[in-house]
Amino acid sequence: MRAVSNKVPLFIRKLIKNPLHYEESNTETLFTIKQLHQLSELIVKSQKNKPNFVKLPDNIKEVCIVGDLHGDITSTWRIVKLFLNEQIESIVFLGDYVDRGEHSLLVLGLILSLMLAWPNHVIGLRGNHEDLDLNYQYGMANELRQYYPSPDDIIQINKTIERIYDHLPLAAQSPQGSICMHGGIPKYIKNIHELNQIPKPHSNLLQINDKGLMKKLYRIFYQIRWNDPREQQKQRFRISGRGPNSITFNEDVVSDFVNTNGVNRVIRSHESSRGGFQTLFNGQLLHIFSAEPYYGRVPKAYVLHEQQDNPTILRDLDFNFVQRVT
C-alpha cells in the first residue's frame, strides 16, 4: 500500500487507512472540533499560495478523473483504494463531495486528507456544493448537527469548513491536455489562467475595489461551478434555469475554448441527468459522474483513466475496462 508520511497528523493517517470504520461506527465522531480546525489550517496552508488553475506535474504518466461523489463513501472508497494500492498514479476530483448522501463529512475529510498526504498526486476541485448555502438545503448542515449538536460549535465548524471551501482550486489541467472543472465554461473567460485573478480565500472577491472587475470575476467563479453544455443550442450562451448567474453554452464555445487554451478537451461533471458518462461535441467535452447508485439517475458510475501515450479509458469504480474513449 502507498506509504503515508509520518509528517501527516495521526488522525488523518487513520482516516486514510480505514475510512469505513467511521461509517460503521454509530458512536465515534469523525473529527473532534480541534482536529477539524487543524485539517482546515493544513489545507489553507497548502492551498493559499497555489493558483485557482492548477496543473498536475508533467512527469505524471496517468491520472484518474472522478466526478460527483455527494457523500457516497462506498463509491469514494472503491476509487480511493485504487490509488492507495498504487493501481493509479494520481487523481483529480471534480468537486461536489458533500450533500445528498449520508456521509458528506467523511467523503470531504478523506479527499482533503489525500490532498495533504500526496499534494503532487491528488487535486480536489471546488464544486457548486462546496458552499454553505447549498449545504443548508441539501443535507450537509443536518449531518453536521448530528455530529456536533451544540449551536455554538456549529457556528465555529461552519466557519472552519467555509475556509476549506474558499481555498480549493477551481480547475486543473492533466498532463494529457485535459482541462478539468466541475460545471462548465464561463461566459466571461477566454484564457483559463484568468481564474488566477480570483483571490484566495474566494470570499475576498467581494472586497475587490474595482466593481466592474469584481462583478466579472464573481461571474467566472460562479459559472465554472454551475454552467452546463447544451447540444442543440444555437446561441453561444443562454441563461440557465439553475440560477441568475448560471448559463448554458454550445459546441462553438467549447471548440473556441479548447483552441484558445491549446488543450485537447474539457472534462466536467455536475449533471446527474446525463448519467455516468457522456461524450459531447465530437469528443471535445466529456461528462463523468462517479457516485452509484444516485437517486435512480446514475445506476452505473464511472471514472476516466488518462494515460501517457495510450488511449483514455472509461472504467467502472473497481477500475474494470468499460470502453476506449480516445
Is 126 in contact with 92 (CB distance < 8 Å)?
A: no
Taking CA atoms, 66 is separated from 168, 250, 275, 289, in Å, by 16, 23, 14, 7
pLDDT for position 311: 96
Give pLDDT tens digits for 288-306.
Answer: 999 999 988 899 999 999 9
pLDDT for position 284: 98
Taking CA atoms, 175 is separated from 110, 213, 311, in Å, by 24, 31, 13
Give pLDDT tens digits for 253-291.
Answer: 999 999 999 999 999 999 999 999 999 999 999 999 999
pLDDT for position 27: 52
The CA distance from 290 to 65, in Å, is 9
Taking CA atoms, 279 is separated from 5, 54, 263, 325, in Å, by 38, 24, 16, 8
Alpha-carbon 87 to chain mean position: 21
Inform me whether the pLDDT recorded for 25 exceeds 70: no
pLDDT for position 28: 62
Give pLDDT tens digits for 212-240.
Answer: 999 999 999 999 999 999 999 999 999 99
Question: Which domains are delineated in the chain?
Answer: 10-185+266-324 (3.60.21.10)
Alpha-carbon 126 to chain mean position: 5
Inform me whether the pLDDT recorded for 26 exceeds 80: no
Residue type, 291: A
pLDDT for position 1: 81
Give pLDDT tens digits for 175-191.
Answer: 999 999 999 999 999 99
The residue ranges of DSSP E strands in 82-201, in sequence order, are 91-93, 122-124, 171-173, 178-181
Cell of 186: 464561463
Inform me whether the pLDDT recorded for 54 exceeds 60: yes
Q: Based on C-alpha coordinates, what's the Rg of the chain?
A: 19
